[in-house]
Structure 1
Amino acid sequence: MLTSARNQFTGKVSAIQEGAVNDEVEITLAGGDRLVAVITRSSTKSLGLKVGGEALALVKAPWIILANPDAGVKLSTRNRLEGHVKGIKPGAVNAEVDITLKGGETLAAIVTLESVEGLGLATGKPVVAFFKASHVVVGVKA
């Protein structure tokens, strides 16, 4: 599957919290990091999601919020992943920041150059990535 989402992860469904309209689906990646997605109940059914089954999680890079781990940032986002800056690709206004997560996967974030400077981001530095559960698109292999 080819998509425009920079972040494409494969993992196992580790939990499904059913709701009347939306379900909360937890996906555990191979390295142990966990992502939470909120999708409609009908999507859970039509995708055939079950605990232990394989699922894909897609997250667009501009939806990622970065912070320093020691900043004590608390957000209402369900997803909080820690890692280290793998590399920074600067552009005219924004930069792509690649992050190696604790479990070994790579997460890409698009942030402003001002944010890169303000956070003091550099290769090897620790960083925390936040994103909303509603920004995770879930899929399965057909």
Structure 2
Amino acid sequence: MLEKNINLEYISRIPLKLSAKNQLKVKILEINESIVNTDIIATLSTNEILKAKITKSSQKELGLKVDDEVIFIFKAPSVMIKKQDFSKLILPNLIKAKITSAIIGSQNCQITALTSDKQNLTAIIPNDVTMDLRLAVNDEIGVIIDPKDIIIGI
């Protein structure tokens, strides 16, 4: 007979494989708590800044501290791409990358890019957007991730 009481703490420590393609290594610079949410401000090794917005209770459960190295995890459809002159834009979570491959499907395109600190990023965008942006391998792009779409792994 199966035991009905499951130890969730034990299960949470089992290594998992994730369907989320994007897993960026970052270092926490700041932790800004509010009543319900916490903003985790982190940096890539190139000093590009990323922000994740998580619940305050998740931040406490993970025991996150400034200078911790963590993984920002997010799905490929959460990634937006900007090709035009993005260097003057001031947007949260805008990082530079270079397209390394593009796979065109029947409706969507999978764009893989390399960040300036040599981490892979994957975006899934509609084919018409890919064509409108005229995306091609070796293009310099800006990659944007909504802070609410980021999950933090330790």
Question: Is 1:20 paired with 2:35?
Answer: yes
Task: For 1:45 and 1:79, locate their aligned partners in 2 and report how far apart those are by CA, in whole Å.
Answer: 23
Report the counterpart of residue 80 of structure 1 in structure 2.
94
Task: For 2:86 and 2:60, locate their aligned partners in 1 and report how far apart those are by CA, in whole Å.
Answer: 40
Residues 43 and 62 of structure 1, relative CA distance in 2, 3 Å threshold: same
Deviation at 1:131, TM superposition (A): 1.7
| Aligned residues of 2:31 and 2:41 also touching (Cα < 8 A) | yes
Question: Is 1:94 paired with 2:103?
Answer: no
Larger Rg: 2
Deviation at 1:92, TM superposition (A): 1.0
Question: Is 1:50 paired with 2:65?
Answer: yes
Give unmatched runs, 5+ long, in structure 2.
Answer: 1-15
Residue of structure 1 aligned with 2:124, choices 106, 110, 135: 110
Normalised by the length of structure 1, the TM-score is 0.89
Count of residues paired in the alignment: 139
Residue of structure 2 aligned with 1:119, choices 126, 129, 133: 133
| Aligned residues of 2:36 and 2:56 also touching (Cα < 8 A) | yes
| Aligned residues of 2:86 and 2:142 also touching (Cα < 8 A) | no
Percentage of identical aligned residues: 27
Deviation at 1:68, TM superposition (A): 1.1
| Aligned residues of 1:64 and 1:131 also touching (Cα < 8 A) | yes
| Aligned residues of 2:51 and 2:147 also touching (Cα < 8 A) | yes
Deviant stretches of 4+, over 6 Å:
none
